[in-house]
Amino acid sequence: MPRDSDNSPPASGDWQRVILDSVADGVFTVDHEWLITSFNRAAERITGVPRAEAIGRRCCEVFRASICERDCALRQTTETGQPVVNKAIYIVNAGGQRVPISISTALLRDEAGQVIGGVETFRDLTLVEQLRKELSGRDGFADIVSRNHDIHRIFEVMPAIAESDSTVLITGPSGSGKELFAKAIHSLSSRTDGPWVPVNCAALPDTLLESELFGYVAGAFTDARKDKPGRFALADGGTIFLDEIGDISPAMQVRLLRVLQDGVYEPLGSTTPRKADVRVIAATHSDLDGLVKQGRFRSDLYYRINVVRIPLPPLSQRREDIPLLADHFIAKFNRLRGKDISGLSDDVLAVLMEHPFPGNVRELENVIEHAFVLCSGGLIEPQHLPAHLRPKPGPRRSAGKRLTDIEARSIVDALERNNWNRSATARELGIHKTTLWRKTRALGIDMPQRPTRP
């Protein structure tokens, strides 16, 4: 009996594609001219390059790997006949991002055993790399980078905060990264697959904020022709981030208090309570304790949102983070702008280390973005900075001397925080005790004499 044409098995070439596309690892093959002859679905996903664009191109043009130019693993295999197994490298994907992968290579032979090219498999190590960075926990957590001891104490408790469903209050000056910390808590929590809904409470007048948060039903007011869900409804099963909560009116404070106390709210024009399965994270740059004493912020609402508090220091109190954050933003804008700026000159670093940064981390990011407009490559120099940061003409200390003074001040501050305990200070600074001793000698830092034992 003839087989139905719709159910006929695929041809051998199609079978090979089906099998390769079922593999979780990226797989591609090349011929003797290093032209790609096959490219599976996982390879498309990891590189961001469609199969149709990859086929027929040289593999180095598609992968832009860290070893393509000088130490190609596939070339090594074709020359020696020996496979390469699980070698860790980086590639640059179609979006310009650096992706860590592990590769394995082998010779590709036809049915007669003749070498007709090479085959390479590769595995995306992005999640492994992120986990390694989080476990090391030294300079980063989630998308946040810092060397500051206060920030690292926050890193230590972030997983526990994320596991609970308690309301969190993040305090700190504008531009200090409050939303970034709130997003990290959401991402680490059991609600990570639920919605993330941010609301800037200071950006809306009271009447609009109420309908924005709680929604409304048809007929609630003249233009309400149909029901509209509010942000609490949109955040169901996830997290709502109430930024600048200190700016809301007393009337709105009452409405919000009911949601936090009873877990219910009523859309405008409705008398039917709605359940709010939402975790609330609030943030403010205001002094809520002072506002409570002045009677401008309800004490009962304050105690509801201040269950877990995360205070973020201004950038002026974490100057050791300035070089790290600058490198982070340079890498970010290199990816976005397709540039290859290598870093900051000593003069620029000295200027940034001395600047008070009233706009905090956001201001630093804007400074780096401004520099990217004027700097085409190489190092960012003083002439690439915004006008108010460019050094004034006339005699001034050398950049090296200014950086030395800043380093000395940072070490003294760390020593004072740790009561001049060298071991604790070295741990905070991430250096060995002998390195700290050499630096204090070289910088002329006088260490207090320890009391001698009887």
What is the per-residue pLDDT across 163-197, written as a single tens digit (0 to 9) for each? 888 999 999 999 999 999 999 999 988 898 899 99
Q: How confident is the model at residue 388 (pLDDT cuts 50, 70, 90)?
A: very high
- pLDDT for 251 beyond 70: yes
> What's the CATH class of domain 137-313?
alpha beta
Residue 66, C-beta contacts closer than 8 angstroms, at least 6 positions apart = 89, 90, 91
More confident position, 420 or 243: 243
Residue type, 37: T
More confident position, 226 or 294: 294
- pLDDT for 394 beyond 70: no
Dist CA 114 CA 434 (whole Å): 60
- pLDDT for 205 beyond 70: yes
- pLDDT for 405 beyond 80: no
Q: What is the CATH number of domain 316-389?
A: 1.10.8.60
- pLDDT for 3 beyond 50: no
The listed CATH number (3.40.50.150, 2.60.120.10, 3.30.450.20, 3.40.50.300) that belongs to domain 5-126: 3.30.450.20
For the CA atoms of the chain, what is the radius of gyration? 29
The CATH fold assigned to 399-442 is: Arc Repressor Mutant, subunit A (1.10.10)
Q: What is the pLDDT of residues 69-79, one digit of tens each?
A: 667 888 888 88
* CA distance to 91, 338, 369, 387, per residue, from 364 (Å): 29, 20, 9, 14
Q: Is 344 left (phi over 0), alpha (psi -120 to 50) or beta?
A: beta
Q: What is the pLDDT of residues 114-137, one digit of tens each?
A: 899 999 998 887 765 655 454 444
- pLDDT for 47 beyond 60: yes
- pLDDT for 288 beyond 80: yes
Site of tokens 């180095």? 60
Once rounded to an integer, what is the mean pLDDT over residues 197-211? 88
Angle between helices 422-429 and 433-442 (to 10 degrees): 100
Dist CA 155 CA 146 (whole Å): 10
pLDDT of residue 78: 87
pLDDT of residue 408: 78
Domain layout of the chain by residue ranges:
5-126, 137-313, 316-389, 399-442
* CA distance to 155, 177, 178, 245, per residue, from 313 (Å): 14, 10, 10, 19
CB atoms within 10 A of CB 48: 13
Q: What is the pLDDT of residues 91-117, one digit of tens each?
A: 888 877 778 888 889 998 888 888 999
Q: What is the pTM of this model?
A: 0.62
CB atoms within 10 A of CB 430: 12
